[in-house]
Structure 1
Amino acid sequence: MAIVAKLDAGSQPDPESPNRRTTWLTTINENGSPHATAVGAVWLEGAYWFQTGAGTRKGRNVARDPRCCVAVSIRDADVVIEGEAARVTEPAVVARVAKAWADGGWPAVPDETGSGITAPFNAPSQGPPPWNVYRVDPRSATVVLATDPGGLTRFQF
């Protein structure tokens, strides 16, 4: 399989690739198994933020059990943040997060109620807008530095 061969070869993402900064969200399925999926998360105000439709698996999972983790590769490090997802509905907060997504290139805006977001496009799996906004406050982090791949650091927030 070509993917396994690339993993075996230690393949790195192309620095110009659109998915070089994919952020992964892992939630807990009803049977206790993990559910990992790519998300358009944004780091803002000391937390990760993501959005999803109420009917998505990640939306159902965090409604039932908010424990989750967010994983991302940043310059010179791989980072996994553990925390709990909390739905945010305060219009001023939703507007700040929508602006952060818009500033990053995804034209999100608050919906007419101010408690969710909408945009001209999203992944089809998210369902129709409006989408719920969630904040993941970091509880702990695991970091592997590219300059010291043998070193692993875990810390609490």
Structure 2
Amino acid sequence: METINLGIGDDLPPVDWSTIVERIADGSPPAPDAHNARTTWLTTLNDDGSPHVTAVGALWLDGTFWFQTGAGTKKHHNVERDQRCSIAVSVRDADVVVDGHASRVTDPADVARAAKGWADGGWPAEPDTSGTGITAPFNAPAQGPPPWHVYRIEPRSATVVLGVEPGGLTRFKF
């Protein structure tokens, strides 16, 4: 097995795969108050049509998901070329997948509202000097330097799997 440390540029050690395999096999969920208890996963399409899946600090605003990314990232390249994407999240008692199209948000008022949403959630984002991107004292490794672009996902459909009695599986088309 080849190991590629994607965090080396940030002086992070590689992850121990055997530890992860043990946690998957044990069915270890995150603790309810863990930083990854509500990780959202964004799927975009690579140039060859294959999926690219990455964790994002998504924001729920105006009835849909918003995310931010640096101009040099793969997800930025992918959504600029092909807007189709999906975002997945587990919430209390349900798993949710929203399919839609991502579009860059450049209206200063909308960027400011998104920045405020992230700041209210604990990440001190604010609009950059142009008003069309955001900045903060820190971001996830590999996002590149600020400003970061803001995207809104226009939902086309959603699939929800209810994980408690009576259970349920439902698709919603918008």
Question: Which band: TM-score by shorter chain?
Answer: over 0.9
Gaps of 5+ in 1: none
- Structure having the larger proportion of residues in strand: 1
- In the alignment, structure 2 segments of 5+ residues that lack a partner are 1-17
Pairing partner for 1:42 from 38, 56, 59: 59
Query: TM-score, normalised on structure 1?
Result: 0.95
Percent of matched pairs sharing the same residue:
69
Q: What letter is aligned with 2:52?
A: H
Structure 1 Cα separation of the partners of residues 93 and 125 of structure 2: 29
Number of aligned residue pairs: 157
Q: Residues 61-140 of structure 1 correspond to what in structure 2 (within 5 A)? A: 61-140=78-157
Alignment match, 2:75: 58
- Name the TM-score, length of structure 2 as normaliser: 0.86
Residue type at the aligned position of 2:32:
P
Q: In the alignment, residue 133 of structure 1 is paired with which amino acid?
A: V
Once the two structures are TM-superposed, the CA of residue 155 in structure 1 deviates from its matched residue by: 1.2
Is residue 41–residue 48 contact of structure 1 (8 Å, CA) maintained in 2? yes
Deviations 1:14-33 (A, max 9, x none): 11211101111000000111
Q: Supply the RMSD in Å over aligned alpha carbons.
A: 1.4
Distance apart, 1:10 and its partner CA: 2.7
| Distance (whole Å) between structure 1 residues aligned to residue 169 and residue 23 of structure 2 | 24
The list of structure 1 runs, each at least 4 consecutive aligned residues, that deviate by more than 4 angstroms after superposition, is none
- Measure, in 1, the Cα distance between the counterparts of 2:70 and 2:23: 33
For residues 66 and 109 of structure 1, the distance between their equivalents in structure 2, rounded to whole angstroms, comes to: 25
Q: Helix, strand or coil: the match of 1:136?
A: strand
1:105-154 deviation per Cα after TM superposition (whole angstroms, max 9, x unaligned)? 00000000000000000013110000000000111011111115963211
